[in-house]
Amino acid sequence: MRTDHTSQISPTRRAVLGAGIAAAGSGLLAACSSARSRDRGNPGVPAPDTPAGSTPNGRGADETHPAPAEPGRKHILRAALSPVELGAGRTFRSWTYEGLLPGREMRVTAGDTLALTLANQLPEATTVHWHGIALHNDMDGVPGVTQPPVEPGETFDYRFTAPHPGTYWFHPHMGVQIDRGMYAPLIVDDPREPLRYDHEWIVMLDDWIDGVDGSTPDDVLSQLRKGKPPMGHGNRPEGPVGAGGGALADAASERRDDGKGPGREPSPYRGKGPRRLMSGATSKLLGGHAGDVAYPYYLINGRTADDPTQFRAKPGDRIRLRIINAGGESAFRVALGGHRMTVTHSDGFPVQPYKTDALVIGMAERYDVLITAQSGVFPLVALAEGKRGRAMAVLRTGAGAVPKPSAHPVELDREVLVSARRLRPDESVAMPRRGYDRLLRLKLTGGMKEYDWGIDHKPYDPDTLHRVERGERVRLVIINATHMWHPVHLHGHTFSLAGLDSNGARKDTSIVLPHNKLVADFDAENPGLWMLHCHNIYHSESGMMTTLAYHG
């Protein structure tokens, strides 16, 4: 059954959504794992013992330069329960795209139209959010806000133009599904790519809990909220509809609500796991409290540190790493032993080259970096910042043993880039200087004890809309009044980091440290209903989210 795109969106929200939103452009090009040829070096080749075809590791030249995809080709993304193997023989059942972890890379060129049908084979409703893409609002994947949820057995057609080159990714926007196995990279190539390099590797970071000793992210959320219902992205099987408000909430009031959600039974894949909460996770870099969830595993490209992904290159090769934090609740401090890195992009947009030994990447952030490979075998380590755990991959340019899982490169403790505030945008993407037309001030509130995260001391309310006008330069001032850091994400736009301590880098997700503020400017050029929320999935599902709205 194919989902009707508007039937479950409230009339008032549909009015805002419909104004000025045109259909996605023509010129369909294939996307799933199909890259156009690019006039620079080939992506890297995985080491012989790297699992083939299961992760977006380095790839061979023949795989990377196929003939251009045939226009009009149909693509289906299947979301289903499947086994995942994390390394060292550890296999768990989780929810994935096409049975892969991470999901298969999608690749288009800027200006191409991506068309895909989501086929939901899960026991619950789901959607797909295309993180960081400035697409038409009705393709944004937020249940009840921009589309109805895609119910089990149903399909939904996504079709949009990818306007800007860069490193992006996609994931569900339903409940805490993002903390399962449903995520994958979306790379938008620049047809005039200015960088030159020999290899390109995608590095997806994750904190993993799903299926371990019966645990599920839903268990974790229930433990954190002490049984209180979620307040966020439409996690309907356990309580009130969050981002799926409006007509969905109305429908819920017309059906039974016995604590199991509006007319649905709880998922059979939850409620069996052990306690997964932690205390004492602190980080000076993050300003204090680092997190609340004790994850048993941390992953790079779906592999644990004791059975890591290996990338193979030659000494002297110039390598582009596209680093994506797909985690649910963990920031990572990332360094490559024996190397310094040059940051070239943040959240897909180019910056003036910035050299550092390590960087901190919050949930949903992306950094592109260049390195020049030295001779030997080197650990690429992602420390779960403030927690007891790490992920690791290996760069191999010669013979030698794989580093131990406990490897701790000295670069992790040298110069660390914590915030993109230090970065300056490339002139090609710097926002034109002008004064702002509207000031929108929001306060992040709540705390760990009650787990009552919200905005302006209130949990998410689908009827609260922060209105702006098309054509305005909007200044966001987001004040973190809590004792914990938050990675704040704005849908459908990029913003420029503003304020006296920032240099204007373009972002769509940015860390806000405790008792600090984020000052960011964006131009209201993409009408619709756009979520603004913390990308700690347990914070957003507890209510730390809101909606911006404007007509065309």
- SS3 at position 418: coil
**Count of C-beta atoms within a 10 Å radius of residue 329:** 26
Residues 515 and 475 placed together within one structural domain of the fold: yes
Residues 319 and 386 placed together within one structural domain of the fold: yes
State the DSSP H helix or E strand holding residue 253, giving kind and residue range, or none if neither.
helix 247-254
CATH number at residue 304: 2.60.40.420
The torsion defined by the Cα of 284, 289, 293 and 298, in degrees rounded to 10, comes to -10
What are the CA-CA distances from residue 545 to residues 115, 144, 232, 450 (Å)?
Answer: 28, 14, 7, 17
Euclidean distance between CA atoms 287 and 119, whole angstroms? 42
Is pLDDT above 60 for 45? no
Residues 296 and 413 placed together within one structural domain of the fold: yes
pLDDT at 1: 58
pLDDT at 226: 86
pLDDT at 499: 83
The total number of structural domains in the chain stands at 3
In sequence order, what DSSP letters do the residues of 311-362 get, joined into one string?
A: EE--TT-EEEEEEEE--SS--EEEEETT--EEEEEETTEEEEEEEESEEEE-
pLDDT at 64: 33
State the DSSP H helix or E strand holding residue 518, giving kind and residue range, or none if neither.
strand 517-523
Note whether residue 274 is domain-resident.
Answer: no
Residues 401 and 488 placed together within one structural domain of the fold: no
Is pLDDT above 90 for 532? yes
Lowest average pLDDT, out of 166-170, 277-281, 524-528, goes to: 277-281
Q: Which residues contact 221 (CB under 8 A, 6 or more apart)?
A: 176, 230, 235, 238, 538, 541, 542
More confident of the two residues 70 and 396: 396
Chain centroid offset of residue 53 CA: 22
Radius of gyration of the chain (CA): 22
What is the 8-class DSSP label of residue 367? E
Note whether residue 119 is domain-resident.
Answer: no
- ∠ CA 11-13-15, nearest 5°, is 70
Q: Which two tokens stand for residue 105?
A: 């890379």
Residues 413 and 312 placed together within one structural domain of the fold: yes
pLDDT at 271: 53
The average pLDDT across 139-159 equals 97
- SS3 at position 113: strand
Place of tokens 């209130």: 458
Q: Which two tokens stand for residue 338?
A: 């024996």
Residue 525: domain span: 438-550
| Interval 52-67: pLDDT, tens | 333 333 333 333 333 3
Please say which residue of 366, 386, 418 terminates a domain: 418
Residues 248 and 289 placed together within one structural domain of the fold: no
The reported pTM is: 0.84
